[in-house]
Amino acid sequence: MQKYLSQENFSTLLEKLIASGKRVVAPKLNAGTVLYEPLKNPAEIVIDRMPRRSGKEAFFPICEEIISYGKEGQKVTVTDIDPARFPETVLVGVRPCDAAAIPMLDAVFSWDYRDEFFLERRKKTTVVGMACTEADDACFCTAVGLSPGDPKGGDILLTQVEGGGYLCRAQSEKGEALVAAHAALFSEPDGHKSLPLAEPQTEKIDLQKVKKWLDTNFEHPDWDSIATRCVGCGACAFVCPACHCFDIVDEGTEKSGTRRKNWDACGFWKFTHHASGHNPRDLQPKRYRNRIMHKFKYYDDKFGQRLCTGCGRCIRLCPAGIDIAAIVEDISKK
């Protein structure tokens, strides 16, 4: 059911959510960069600029504690993290490309092993999406089968309307509960017309054909030319809404320390470096191949969908100007 939420009431809603002790995460400025971060007051929200990182941090933190340990004399203590301490979160202003990645992560983290850390945080998070009214030439959601108004993955979708305010569509129990809890702020949608949505300038890519080529061309000379320019940083994976690899490290001293889970990236040399010293992905093209393979083949093999939502962040931020949309499009024409 569609409702109208005025700009003023939107601020009031955020204010009430913050006051209720929930962590309200939304795009805001941090030292000049727009990032999804907890709001202290509603005025901090920035909706007209794409955040640099995706919203996945809200349930897949950059770095989180898994256990901590201490040692005193012969006595060793290990302390687990109580999932009750994960904060109740409302993620607001999520772009459709970021929201669409959430079910992809859900699938991975609840597959053969259920990742309690992810799933508990996820359970405690309500996702309020916001349709895009602007796209730049790195955006390619339409090329991978999504759109700037796609409701996938969100609990509520907001669409900006002419003259201010939003049309609000709750599309899950969580979303309905949030609207119901603040029903006084919403009114009937009559007469409010949504702003025209963004129109990314990319043509639809035949992803079946891409997969077919990837299925048979693990070894292909083209990988070298595709990835020669990759410098081996993790920028693409870290800004990606769908990438979900992590590393586990112990940090501390003999007496006490913490085991932490960090984001990791397949572009790193260290990613597949074995304890023996052997590295099966010894050259950068092999690492970059994994990025493409994972997104457009391996994930598809397992879950029947692609691990890319076309947000375009990796294209905008790649230090070497690598354009995944162009690469995939080329593959689809091979």
Contacts 24+ apart (CB under 8 A), 112-118: 116/83, 117/64, 117/66, 117/81, 117/83, 117/261, 118/59, 118/60
> Residue 41 phi/psi, 5° resolution?
-145, 155
Report how far residue 262's alpha carbon sits from residue 329's, in angstroms, rounded to the nearest whole number.
32
Q: Which is nearer to another protein, 261 or 306 (CB)?
A: 261
Q: Which is nearer to another protein, 165 or 267 (CB)?
A: 267
Q: Which is nearer to another protein, 161 or 207 (CB)?
A: 207
Report how far residue 107's alpha carbon sits from residue 153's, in angstroms, rounded to the nearest whole number.
12
Considering the complex, what minimum distance in angstroms separates the CB of residue 7 from another protein?
Answer: 26
Considering the complex, what minimum distance in angstroms separates the CB of residue 309 from another protein?
Answer: 18
Considering the complex, what minimum distance in angstroms separates the CB of residue 2 from another protein?
Answer: 30
**Rg value, the chain, Cα:** 21
Spatial contact of 86 and 25, defined as CB atoms under 8 Å apart: no
Considering the complex, what minimum distance in angstroms separates the CB of residue 132 from another protein?
Answer: 17
Considering the complex, what minimum distance in angstroms separates the CB of residue 110 from another protein?
Answer: 20
Q: Which is nearer to another protein, 190 or 275 (CB)?
A: 275
At position 260, the amino acid (one-letter code) is R
Q: Which is nearer to another protein, 176 or 247 (CB)?
A: 247
Considering the complex, what minimum distance in angstroms separates the CB of residue 287 from another protein?
Answer: 11
Considering the complex, what minimum distance in angstroms separates the CB of residue 267 from another protein?
Answer: 8
Q: Which is nearer to another protein, 1 or 320 (CB)?
A: 320
Q: Which is nearer to another protein, 97 or 237 (CB)?
A: 237
Considering the complex, what minimum distance in angstroms separates the CB of residue 329 from another protein?
Answer: 8
Strand partners for 147: none
Q: Which residues bind another protein (CB under 8 A)?
A: 20-21, 30-33, 35, 37-38, 52-53, 57-58, 60-65, 81, 84-88, 136-138, 228-229, 231-235, 237-239, 247, 249, 251, 253, 260, 262-263, 265, 268-270, 283-285, 315, 317, 319-323, 325-326
Q: Which is nearer to another protein, 216 or 276 (CB)?
A: 276
Cα→Cα distances 278→38, 228, 275, Å: 42, 22, 7
Considering the complex, what minimum distance in angstroms separates the CB of residue 258 from another protein?
Answer: 9
Q: Is 312 left (phi over 0), alpha (psi -120 to 50) or beta?
A: left
Q: Which is nearer to another protein, 97 or 265 (CB)?
A: 265
